[in-house]
Amino acid sequence: MGDPSRRGFISVLAVLLSTGWAANHFASLIPVLRVDEGLSHAVLDGVFGIYALGLLPGLLTGGALSDRVGRAVVVLPGALIASLGTVILLLWHDSPGLMVGRLVVGIGAGLAIGAGTAWAGDLRGKSGTVMAGVVLTSGFALGPLFSGLLAQFAAFPLATPFVVSAVLSVGSVAAAAVWSRTPAPTKAATFTQVPDRAERSGTNVKGALLWALPLAPWVFASATVSFVTMTARLGDRYSGPLLPGFAAALTLGAGILVQTAARHRNWGPQAGTVGASLAALGYLLVAVGGAHPALGLFIVCALVLGTAYGLCLREGLLDLESLAPPASRGALTGIFYVGTYLGFGLPVLLVVIEPTMGPSLPLVILAAVAAVVAVVRFRRLRSTQASTSHPRLEAASV
C-alpha cells in the first residue's frame, strides 16, 4: 500500500498541480475565444487578469484561516471552487461568463495555493516548500501546453480543455481527502528545525516579509510578460492556441528547471538577487523587441524571464519558510502570493498605457526597479549583519 504519509504529501502536491493547471491553461484558449466568440484583445486580457482580483481575498484569508483550523479545511474546498469556475468557463463563453468564471477560479486558487504551499511545508519542511513551488509551476506550465494541444487538435477545441481541467481538479481533491492527514498547525513546526534558527536569530513576521516581498512582484510579472504580452505582439505573424501554450511551457519550464537545479545544489539566498537581476534583463530585452519582436528574441526572453520567475518564487518562499514564525506561516505565504499575483495585471496595464507611453518605456522602468531590488538584496546579504538577519546563510555558500 506504500507509506501513508508519502501518499498524503503527493496528494497535496497533486492539488497544487491541478490548481495551477486550472489557473493558467486559459492562456492557450485566448486565441480560440478571439476567433470563435469575436472578443477583442483588450477584453480577453481583462478576462485573463481578473483572475488576479479573485485571488486576493482567498490568499489574504485562506492562509491565515488554515493556520487556525487546519490546511485541508481550506485547501480542498478552494480547489473545488476553482473547478466550479472551470465549469462556468465551459458553459458560458461571452464576456460576462468568462469574467465570472475566471473570477471564481481565482477565488478558489487563492484559497488553495497559499494554504497548500504551507501544508506541503508542514509535511516535509524546507523540501516540501521547494517541491510545492516546483509542482505549482509545473501546473502553470502543463495547463497551457496541453490545453493548447487540445484546442488545436481536439474535436471540441473549447470544451475539451475545460473538461480535462475540471476532472483533474476533482480527482486530486478526492485523492487528498482520502490520503492526507494534516497535522494541527501548532505541531507543524516539528517537521523542520529551521524556525528554531529563525527564532534564535531574532527574526519575526516583519523581518520575513522584508526579505520575501521585494521578490514577489517579479514572479508572475516576468511570466505573464513572456506568455501574454510577447505572444500578443507576435500575433500579427503567428496565430492559434499553440503559441501561448508553447510560450507558457518554455517560460515556466525554465522556471521548473532552475528551481530543480537550485534544490539539488542547495543554492542560497543570493539566488534571489540573480532572479531579480534576470527579471531586469528580461524586461530590457522585451523593450528592445518593441511592438513587433523577432521570434528568436521572444524565445530568449521566455528563457530569461522564466528563470527569473523560478528563482524569485523559490527564494521568496524559502525566505518565509526560514524566517516566519510557524504559527503565521500560512498567512505570510498568502501575503507573499498576493504580491506575486499582482503581476497578472501587468499585461492589461501595458495595453492600457501603450498609447501614451509606447510599448518599450514601461518595460525599461520595470527593469530599473527590478535592478534596484537586486542591488539592495545583494548588499543586505553581503553586509556584516547578514548572518544574524538571514539564517539560511548558515547553511549555504551562495
| C-alpha dist (Å) from residue 92 to 25, 102, 161, 190 | 17, 11, 14, 47
> Residue 143, Cβ neighbours under 10 Å: how many?
30
288 vs 159: CA distance, rounded Å = 38
- Going by C-alpha positions, the residue among 269, 280, 287 that lies closest to residue 373 is 280
Reading the chain (398 residues) residue by residue, the pLDDT tens digits are: 455 678 889 999 999 999 999 998 987 888 888 888 888 777 887 787 788 788 888 888 888 899 888 899 999 999 999 999 999 999 988 889 999 999 999 999 999 998 999 899 888 888 898 899 889 988 988 898 899 889 888 888 889 999 999 999 999 999 999 887 544 444 443 333 333 444 444 458 888 899 999 999 999 999 989 988 998 888 667 766 678 778 888 998 999 999 989 988 888 899 999 999 999 999 999 999 998 899 999 999 999 999 999 999 999 999 988 888 888 888 898 899 889 988 877 888 898 899 999 999 999 999 999 999 999 999 999 885 555 566 666 554 43
Q: How many residues does the chain have?
A: 398
- CA 269, 272, 277, 278 torsion-angle sign: positive
Q: State pTM to two decimals.
A: 0.81
Q: How far apart are CA 295 and CA 301, in angstroms?
A: 10
C-alpha cell at 394: 548558515
Residue 145, all three cell numbers:
501546453
Cα 331 to Cα 127: distance, rounded to the nearest angstrom: 19
Classify the phi-psi angles of 127: left when phi > 0, otherwise alpha if psi is within -120 to 50, otherwise beta: alpha
Say how many C-beta atoms besides its own lie within 10 A of residue 395's C-beta: 12
Structural domains for the chain: 4-181+190-394 (1.20.1250.20)
- C-alpha closest to that of 252 among 131, 151, 134: 134
Distance CA 19, CA 96 (A): 22
